[in-house]
């Protein structure tokens, strides 16, 4: 076991995958599972599961496997999912409103507590159970609601300014869906996701496939 700091993004994403799998196993009433069985059911790698888990402690029972409930609990704790995280969504367009409703349907450890937009037509309307507030009030909204994580779902041209507004308002982390490269301070974890890129990845693979692909293999695991 190593110290739990500096975990790479890929490892972290695998831990989320393991947790997702374990929750399904729990629903199915499974009590224990071996790394091999877990790997087979969810198309993962057994040695990698063991390596990943062993990094954070000895969670398994030799000769048996892992206790499903206990391991799920450990992973929840590790990932910081054992408490509620409050989110503020900035930009209530297509993606922003989808995100609000999505998380209201299945909150898990994440709860959207505020929604803001700078469009006069939207302010005061509802998205899910929330009333949309003016972007100009962001700092007050964050302070009142106790929002900790900002979700940035605004057009590219507005992203930089709104990102800074989120930082100024005092959020501790940001998930950005705008297609821009944000310069972020070390103190505020910021993850950028560009949905278009996933489509482009598939487009490349279709192109490579079409171009014969004689000899060279395209090996791109589906990523979870």
Partner DNA sequence: CCATGTGAACAAATTCACAGCA
Partner DNA sequence: TGCTGTGAATTTGTTCACATGG
> Residue 36 touches which of a copy of itself, DNA, none (CB < 5 to 8 A by kind)?
DNA
What is the Cα gyration radius of the chain? Answer: 21
Buried b (16+ CB within 10 A) or exposed e, 161-200: ebbebbbebebebbbbbbebebebeeebebebeeeeeeee
Residue 58, interface with a copy of itself (CB under 8 A)? no
> Residue 108 touches which of a copy of itself, DNA, none (CB < 5 to 8 A by kind)?
a copy of itself
Residue 146, interface with DNA (CB under 7 A)? no
Smallest gap, in angstroms, from Cβ of residue 63 to a copy of itself? 26
Residue 42, interface with a copy of itself (CB under 8 A)? yes
Residue 186, interface with DNA (CB under 7 A)? no
Smallest gap, in angstroms, from Cβ of residue 21 to a copy of itself? 7
Distance CA 100, CA 88 (A): 9
Location of structure tokens 């302010």: 123
Residues 92 to 151: which contact a copy of itself by CB under 8 A?
94-95, 97-99, 101-102, 105, 108-110, 148-149
* 12/143 with CB nearer DNA: 12
Q: What is the distance of C-alpha 162 from the center of its chain? A: 20
Distance CA 138, CA 166 (A): 7
Smallest gap, in angstroms, from Cβ of residue 221 to DNA? 8
Residue 12, interface with DNA (CB under 7 A)? no
Residue 193, interface with a copy of itself (CB under 8 A)? yes
Q: Which of 184, 179, 175 is nearest to 194 (CA)?
A: 179
Residue 6, interface with a copy of itself (CB under 8 A)? yes
Residue 35, interface with DNA (CB under 7 A)? yes
> Residue 140 touches which of a copy of itself, DNA, none (CB < 5 to 8 A by kind)?
none
Specify the stretch interacting with DNA by CB under 7 A; choose among 64-72, 122-130, 181-189, 208-216: 64-72
* 15/72 with CB nearer a copy of itself: 15
Q: Which of 16, 36, 3, 2 is nearest to 80 (CA)?
A: 16
Binding residues vs DNA (CB under 7 A):
1, 8, 10-11, 33-36, 45-48, 50-51, 53-54, 58-66
């Amino acid at each position: 076991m190593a110290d739990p700091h500096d975990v790479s993004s890929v490892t972290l994403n695998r831990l989320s995958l393991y947790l997702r799998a374990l929750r399904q196993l729990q629903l199915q009433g499974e009590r224990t599972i071996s790394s091999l069985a877990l790997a087979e059911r969810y198309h993962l790698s057994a040695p990698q599961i063991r390596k990943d888990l062993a990094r954070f402690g000895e969670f398994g029972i030799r000769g048996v496997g892992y206790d499903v409930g206990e391991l799920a609990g450990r992973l929840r704790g590790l990932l910081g999912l054992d408490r509620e995280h409050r989110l503020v969504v900035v930009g209530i367009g297509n993606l922003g409103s989808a995100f609000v409703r999505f998380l209201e349907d299945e909150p898990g450890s994440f709860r959207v507590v505020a929604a803001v937009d700078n469009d006069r037509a939207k302010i005061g309307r509802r998205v899910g159970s929330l009333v949309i507030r003016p972007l100009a009030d962001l700092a007050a909204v964050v302070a009142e609601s106790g929002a900790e994580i900002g979700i940035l779902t605004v057009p590219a041209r507005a992203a930089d300014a709104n990102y800074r507004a989120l930082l100024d308002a005092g959020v501790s982390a940001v998930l950005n869906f705008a297609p821009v490269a944000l310069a972020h301070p070390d103190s505020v974890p910021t993850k950028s996701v560009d949905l278009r890129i996933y489509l482009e990845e598939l487009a490349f693979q279709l192109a490579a496939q079409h171009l014969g692909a004689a000899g060279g293999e395209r090996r791109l695991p589906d990523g979870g």
